[in-house]
Structure 1
Amino acid sequence: MKSLGSIRRSFEPWNDPDAKPYIRFDGVTKKFGDFVAVDDLTLHIYHREFFALLGGSGCGKSTLLRMLAGFESTSEGSITLDGENMAGIPPYRRPVNMMFQSYALFPHMSVEKNIAFGLKQDGMARSEIDDRVQSMLKLVKLEQFGKRKPHQLSGGQRQRVALARSIAKRPKVLLLDEPLGALDKKLREETQFELMDLQQDLGLTFVVVTHDQEEAMTMADRIAVMNYGRIIQIATPAEIYEAPNSRFVADFIGDVNIFDGTVVSADPTGTELDIGGGIALRSDNQTNVKAGGKASLVIRPEKIRVSREKPADTANAMSGEMWDIAYLGDMTVYHIKLESGQIVKASSLNAVRIVADPFTYDDRMWVSFDTDGGVILGEE
């Protein structure tokens, strides 16, 4: 069986017609005065799913999370969790817990007391609290830091304390609002994998809000890309990246080259697109575009090859001039200016340490890609 990209786990209840959603947003709208933050949104999330709400600032993702947590009420529609309608249920009675970007730790309390705070509020017995706190410290690998105050910890350690406090009450759903935004790049990458492992160990449903595409792609089973209070596409990370359903999603997720043109032909074998200058690009992608209509071919930089000689074995080849080069260590990024003036971005892994004849500025170049490398998108 062929798959779009690699998969993290064989977990896809959304493809099972008999599976019942664990969290349901049905026709949810949220208005602040005349401003519509969430617009007639329907979304279903499944038990034990790691789900990401992804979008730019003001797209409605945090508002959606706050409505699920009970900090905001819906203007229209309903929110159901594990079969129970959440309308009118205050935050402290909902089986969810929220981890904020700021971590919101009590600075005067030790790590142990921070984790125990919610358990004490619930009236749990002292012996049970102590056992639960030690269990949480072990889970997040902070056993030796229980007596320290938050200011005595690193950013990554404070993040783990906040996480331990969030899951200590064993909520049905953990909500994470930009949870890794305060961490540096290397620590953020490490923590992403820790969160994934933790979610699997706990068997909880995680819903994370982020504007970081890489973060969502790394951690989530599925991603909902949002814009102006609506969901534009819901799919697995690989499907979002390799088969975007719109120009917005293609441009928002990762780097992409977009070639606009007129459809020459379209049939079950593929699509041919005239982009001007006597250049026609071919894609195996089947779409609902028709000959004579406007469309775009979108293709990722890593699927484009760069060479000094015109390739003889590809249907898609264009000439240009090397405009910019960025050496990033693990890969090199090339910007090639085509004769039409369009800049094409290509990337190549640096698999060898020494390059015999490296490309340089102003070199005459060819860029090419296979017919299965790009996706055709019609006019929106």
Structure 2
Amino acid sequence: MAKKPIGPVRRVFAPWKDPNAVPFIEFRNVTKRFGDFTAVNNLSLKVYEREFFALLGGSGCGKTTLMRMLGGFETPTEGQILLEGQDLAGVPPFRRPTNMMFQSYALFPHMTVEGNIAFGLKQDKMAKADIEERVQEMLRLTKLQPFAKRKPHQLSGGQRQRVALARSLAKKPKVLLLDEPLGALDKKLREETQFELTALQESLKMTFMIVTHDQEEAMTVADRIAVMEAGEIIQVATPAEIYETPNSRFVADFIGDVNLIEAKVMETSEAGTKLQAVGEDFQIETSQKVGVNVGASVWYAIRPEKIRIVLGEEPLHKVNATSAVVWDIAYLGDVSIFHSKVGEDHTLRSTVANVTRLVERPISWDEQVVLSWDGDAGVILTS
């Protein structure tokens, strides 16, 4: 019986689960050094055809360098990069079946929208009639027909972004590389464009690879995400798997908001694991099994939305529950985030959806509350 996926699945598409699937793009033990600095360190990765793949990480983690090596703008110090089984070593950028959309968009200010889209096609000496047809196709695809005769300075940020996208797609590359493509857009437009990108990628049945430091952006658009740190890949998984089952404290802390509770292993059995929170009087029970000995130090990662908060003095049991005092509240409209002190030194965050217009008495500052969670609401991390 197939394992049920974690979280919502955007589409029925998971070639990485097929042991016989052949990767479309493959990085084999790739290292890139700039002098004494190692930007990418012995990295291996497989990306599949028609996948929307995200490279996610903070500044300087190596994600852009990795993409630039695929595009041919940087050369690996060691290792191989293959596309459809072909080693790309020595192949210049303009000979690769890839196209990169840069963060700055790099539009030609003296050309119209049509001219910008047609530029690469003219460089390839495509027939004039074919160029016109392809430009019109791209204008329709990106909804830019009304702006075809305008120049970049006459367009909004979102429209310029779509021109850059249309120009990148015009040559019909096998892989579209997107380097922080939405960074210049405001929050609302960025969110709208993310969904437009996913719809476009699915309709074109192309392989997209995006570099971003925006967690929400990666989780919205990507089929899979590679979380990077210091030139290495820490975890590769679907957005839901990355969020719900991070493999380390780094990933748990980098993706979304999380409470990390230091704990000691009290018991391990076929039924699961029992933990004692360090410096606190509550315990954690979960069905998760961990390969560590009793007494080992671990961390329990639990997302704020998984923690219930109610007014009260003491929980009935000190298992998966604790008393606390509210010391800060952030009201964000759709949700409220409660910061509650547990003991003297620890704080747990809990998120409550504001589903009513405060019909019930709200929890306020300095009130005694009980925090509780289900046994499998969090995950035990050993690294």
**TM-score band, normalised by the shorter chain?**
over 0.9
Amino acid at match of 2:323: S
| Aligned residues of 1:24 and 1:79 also touching (Cα < 8 A) | yes
**Would the alpha carbon gap of residues 173 and 78 (structure 1) be closer, same or farther in structure 2, given more than 3 Å must change?**
same
TM normalised by structure 1 equals 0.98
Amino acid at match of 1:347: T
Shift of 1:277: 3.0
Aligned partners of 1:340 and 1:253: how far apart in 2?
Answer: 27
Instruction: Tell me if 1:329 matches 2:333.
Output: yes
Where structure 1 has 5 or more consecutive residues not aligned to the other structure, the ranges are none
Instruction: Tell me if 1:173 matches 2:180.
Output: no
Aligned partners of 1:254 and 1:101: how far apart in 2?
Answer: 24
Aligned partners of 1:53 and 1:195: how far apart in 2?
Answer: 16
Shift of 1:113: 0.1
| Aligned residues of 2:281 and 2:318 also touching (Cα < 8 A) | no
- What corresponds to 1:209 in structure 2? 211
Aligned partners of 1:106 and 1:355: how far apart in 2?
Answer: 56
Shift of 1:341: 2.1
Aligned partners of 2:315 and 2:145: how far apart in 1?
Answer: 59
Amino acid at match of 1:333: I
Aligned partners of 1:277 and 1:79: how far apart in 2?
Answer: 50
- Pick aligned residue for 2:284 from 269, 281, 286: 281
Instruction: Tell me if 1:290 matches 2:308.
Output: no
Aligned partners of 1:101 and 1:311: how far apart in 2?
Answer: 51
Instruction: Tell me if 1:98 matches 2:100.
Output: yes
- What corresponds to 1:46 in structure 2? 48
Aligned partners of 1:314 and 1:348: how far apart in 2?
Answer: 22
Count of matched residue pairs: 379
Aligned partners of 1:287 and 1:190: how far apart in 2?
Answer: 41
- What corresponds to 1:83 in structure 2? 85
Shift of 1:6: 1.1
Aligned-partner SS, 1:108: coil
| Aligned residues of 1:314 and 1:368 also touching (Cα < 8 A) | no
| Aligned residues of 1:61 and 1:229 also touching (Cα < 8 A) | yes
| Aligned residues of 2:283 and 2:318 also touching (Cα < 8 A) | no
**Equivalent residues in 2 for 1:1-380 (5 A)?**
2-275=4-277, 276-309=279-312, 310-312=314-316, 315-378=319-382, 380=383
Over the aligned positions, Cα root-mean-square deviation in angstroms equals 1.2
Aligned partners of 1:321 and 1:366: how far apart in 2?
Answer: 8
Shift of 1:266: 1.7
TM normalised by structure 2 equals 0.97
Shift of 1:282: 1.4
Deviates more, 1:256-265 or 1:347-356: 347-356
**Would the alpha carbon gap of residues 337 and 43 (structure 1) be closer, same or farther in structure 2, given more than 3 Å must change?**
same
Shift of 1:312: 4.4
Q: Deviations over 1:19-52 (max 9, x none)?
A: 1000000000000011100000000000000000
Deviates more, 1:301-310 or 1:132-141: 301-310
| Aligned residues of 1:285 and 1:374 also touching (Cα < 8 A) | no
| Aligned residues of 1:217 and 1:237 also touching (Cα < 8 A) | yes
Amino acid at match of 1:96: T
Aligned-partner SS, 2:131: helix
| Aligned residues of 2:315 and 2:323 also touching (Cα < 8 A) | no
Aligned partners of 2:281 and 2:350: how far apart in 1?
Answer: 22
Aligned-partner SS, 1:73: coil
Aligned partners of 1:355 and 1:184: how far apart in 2?
Answer: 34
Aligned-partner SS, 1:337: strand
| Aligned residues of 1:314 and 1:369 also touching (Cα < 8 A) | no
